[in-house]
């Protein structure tokens, strides 16, 4: 059997607990762990599920740049959704996979360059990043304005104007409006991405092994899942949102500023509707993943395919009275991570040790015998795939707006831009993060230790030369 193929499945804004394999429905559980995702559950049962994977940044552009490069926001200088284009000469894991003899492809969203104009004109740029065959789309919002193969098809079918009008009305009233997309199921973006990837793999006839990156735009807001998925889940059955606790006497940071600015007014039952629609979108994507897996199996290649599933960040969906992401709370910063390798010796196991989103690239490159030649800070999961009890990282970090967070198996701590601990949670005894211990005298020693670990990681991960902007 030759080199394994690679299937990288990625969603946008999927919480770590938004998979059936993440747990069971119970009276005291919050989140989405009990929804129907039979295909993601299958991948987990045939591989390893990492329950404490942390996104490098809980916002699109900086974390997607980090995935491609293996660098942190403090290396790239990209801390938020600023207007940024990754230079064409930037070293990436995709180039390393291509250099190892693979034909690489991308279907869906990357956000490695600005979402404006005509994405079809940037295929040369995508080629330079290491992606040979490209069908790129903008995110749900950008697709109201950005040309791509998908939106050109919408325009030909007479669907694009209604899509634009719907988006304009949604965001002129309230951003958390829940109603089905004007597109319908057949033309919905996540279906388009799934079907394009499936067709590509069905027709693949090259000699090289393939690396196919399928990057869905959902379950990113708006809450516009089409039928029949829009009504698949009963809003009354949705788990309750985590309430926003009192701030307490402690230093302040980005989360506090966010909560001052973002205070959506939820009508009675509205959070349930948000969550039911979100759950429907996750199941829709899972069904598309199932069709892709079936296509690979029909080709006789599934047993020789590495599969990774993850997401760039989560979605608060009403937790703490918030929507979207851009903070260090679990709903935004913890993401799904499933890794399935051919003939996995530890199929169906769980690793609870901290991992990071930027570990994906080095893992894929190592699994195919490739080599990353540039300095980067992702760390291959290979040793953990062989032994789930192995220590991968003592802790994982995430960054946003000049702040940095640490997560280990006992604590989550976040430093504000002044280097003060303003978030501190006991992750074992307070899994819903309702009791912020920051600033309390009894945890002063804990804060000191965690602050020093964060600062030491920052020092260890500096670049000799600045990242090219």
33 or 336, which is more confident: 336
Arithmetic mean of pLDDT over the chain: 94
First to last CA, the chain: 42
pLDDT band (50, 70, 90) for residue 25: low
pLDDT band (50, 70, 90) for residue 468: low
Burial class (CB in 10 A: 0-12, 13-18, 19+), 151: buried
| CATH code that applies to domain 5-396 | 3.40.720.10
Please state, in angstroms and rounded to a whole number, the distance separating the CA atoms of residues 104 and 126: 11
The residue to which tokens 């040790």 are assigned:
353
Q: Is the pLDDT of residue 220 over 80?
A: yes
Q: Is the pLDDT of residue 385 over 90?
A: yes
Which residues, at least 6 apart from 413, have a Cβ–Cβ distance to it below 8 Å?
Answer: 405, 406, 421, 423, 424, 425, 438, 446, 447, 450, 451, 454
Please state, in angstroms and rounded to a whole number, the distance separating the CA atoms of residues 106 and 108: 6
Residue in 310, 276, 290 with CA at minimum distance from that of residue 56: 310
Range scoring the smallest mean pLDDT among 63-77, 202-216, 233-247, 351-365 = 233-247
Q: Is the pLDDT of residue 469 over 90?
A: no
Q: Is the pLDDT of residue 463 over 90?
A: no
For the residues 158-182, what does the mean pLDDT come to? Answer: 93
Render pLDDT for 435-462 as a digit per residue (tens, 0 to 9). Answer: 999 999 999 999 999 999 999 999 999 9
The residue to which tokens 């709370």 are assigned:
329
Give the pLDDT score at 33.
66
Give the pLDDT score at 94.
98
Q: Is the pLDDT of residue 28 over 60?
A: no
Using DSSP, state whether 389 is helix, strand or coil: coil
Domain ranges of the chain: 5-396
Beta sheet of 334-335, edge-to-edge order? 334-335, 53-54, 355-356
Q: Are 169 and 142 in contact (CB under 8 A)?
A: no
Give the pLDDT score at 81.
80
Please state, in angstroms and rounded to a whole number, the distance separating the CA atoms of residues 38 and 199: 22
For the chain, what percent of residues have pLDDT higher than 70? 97
Please state, in angstroms and rounded to a whole number, the distance separating the CA atoms of residues 59 and 334: 12
Which residues, at least 6 apart from 171, have a Cβ–Cβ distance to it below 8 Å?
Answer: 222
262 or 397, which is more confident: 397
pLDDT band (50, 70, 90) for residue 44: very high
For the residues 306-322, what does the mean pLDDT come to? Answer: 96
């Amino acid at each position: 059997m030759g080199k394994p193929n690679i299937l990288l499945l990625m969603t946008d804004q999927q919480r770590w607990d938004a998979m059936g394999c993440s747990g069971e429905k119970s009276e005291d559980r919050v989140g989405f762990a009990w929804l129907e995702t039979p295909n993601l559950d299958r991948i987990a049962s045939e591989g390893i599920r990492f329950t404490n994977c942390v996104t490098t940044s809980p916002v699109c552009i900086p974390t997607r740049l980090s995935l491609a490069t293996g660098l942190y926001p403090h290396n790239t200088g990209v801390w938020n959704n600023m207007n940024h284009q990754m230079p064409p000469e930037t070293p990436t894991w995709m180039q390393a996979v291509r250099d190892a003899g693979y034909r690489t492809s991308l279907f869906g969203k990357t956000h490695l360059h600005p979402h404006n104009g005509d994405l079809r004109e940037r295929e040369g740029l995508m080629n330079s990043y290491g992606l040979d065959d490209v069908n790129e789309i903008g995110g749900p919002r950008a697709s109201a304005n950005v040309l791509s193969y998908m939106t050109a098809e919408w325009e030909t079918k007479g669907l694009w104007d209604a899509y634009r009008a719907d988006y304009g009305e949604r965001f002129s009233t309230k951003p958390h409006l829940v109603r089905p997309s004007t597109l319908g199921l057949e033309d919905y973006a996540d279906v388009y991405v799934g079907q394009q990837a499936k067709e590509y793999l069905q027709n693949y006839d090259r000699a090289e092994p393939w690396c196919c990156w399928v990057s869905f735009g959902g379950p990113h807001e708006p809450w516009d899942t089409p039928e029949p998925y829009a009504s698949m889940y009963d809003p009354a059955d949705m788990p309750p949102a985590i309430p926003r606790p009192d701030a307490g006497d402690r230093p302040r940071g980005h989360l506090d500023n966010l909560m001052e600015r973002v205070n959506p007014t939820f009508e009675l039952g509205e959070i349930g509707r948000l969550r039911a629609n979100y759950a429907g979108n996750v199941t829709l994507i899972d069904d598309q993943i199932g069709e892709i897996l079936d296509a690979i199996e029909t080709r006789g290649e599934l047993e020789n395919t590495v599969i990774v599933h993850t997401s760039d960040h989560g979605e608060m969906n009403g937790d703490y009275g918030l929507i979207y992401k851009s903070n260090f709370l679990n709903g935004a910063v913890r993401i799904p991570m499933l890794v399935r390798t051919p003939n996995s010796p530890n199929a169906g196991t769980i690793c609870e040790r901290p991992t990071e989103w930027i570990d994906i690239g080095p893992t894929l490159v190592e699994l195919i015998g490739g080599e990353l030649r540039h300095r980067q800070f992702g760390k291959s999961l290979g040793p953990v795939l062989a032994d789930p009890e192995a220590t991968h990282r003592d802790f994982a970090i995430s960054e946003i707006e000049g702040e940095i967070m640490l997560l280990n198996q006992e604590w989550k701590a976040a430093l504000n831009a002044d280097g003060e601990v303003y978030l501190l949670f006991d992750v074992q005894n307070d899994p819903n993060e309702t009791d912020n211990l920051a600033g309390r005298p009894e945890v002063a020693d804990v804060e000191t230790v965690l602050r020093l670990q964060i600062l030491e990681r920052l020092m260890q991960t500096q670049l000799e030369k600045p990242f090219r902007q």
